[in-house]
Amino acid sequence: MSTYKLVCAHCRGRMRIRTSEGTHIFLRVAYVQCTNEACGWSVRAEFEMTHEMSPSGMPNPSVRLPVASVVMRRQAMKTADDQPDLLDQMEMECAK
């Protein structure tokens, strides 16, 4: 869980995941807190599996996710090249 590089939107400090819980097989809710004691910003975050990029080698018939579109696949290739962190993507989402 700590492999995500989460950056505080307020002070740019590093954020850590305090706790997380699975609410659904595809959805995980996390409570994230800034490690900068002077800041201490704390948020709720969601991590959701939304689309299938590649099928499983051990498929469970009850697991159904929409297959990723061509646009999403291109985005994934771009992401692999640029290696941006998760928060950069989240910030882009928020900026819309």
Q: Which residues bind Zn ion (CB under 5 A)?
A: 8, 10-11, 13, 34, 36, 39, 41
Query: Of 6, 48, 54, 40, whose CA–CA distance to 23 is shortest?
Result: 48
User: Tell me, what amino acid is at 81?
Assistant: D
Q: How far is the CB of 8 from Zn ion (least distance, A)?
A: 3
CA–CA distance, 79 with 52 (Å, rounded to integer): 16
Q: How far is the CB of 42 from Zn ion (least distance, A)?
A: 9
Contact (CB, 8 A) for 52 and 67 = yes
Handedness of CA 56, 93, 88, 18 (dihedral sign): negative
Q: Which is nearer to Zn ion, 11 or 68 (CB)?
A: 11
Q: Which is nearer to Zn ion, 41 or 47 (CB)?
A: 41
Q: How far is the CB of 10 from Zn ion (least distance, A)?
A: 5
Q: Which is nearer to Zn ion, 18 or 51 (CB)?
A: 18
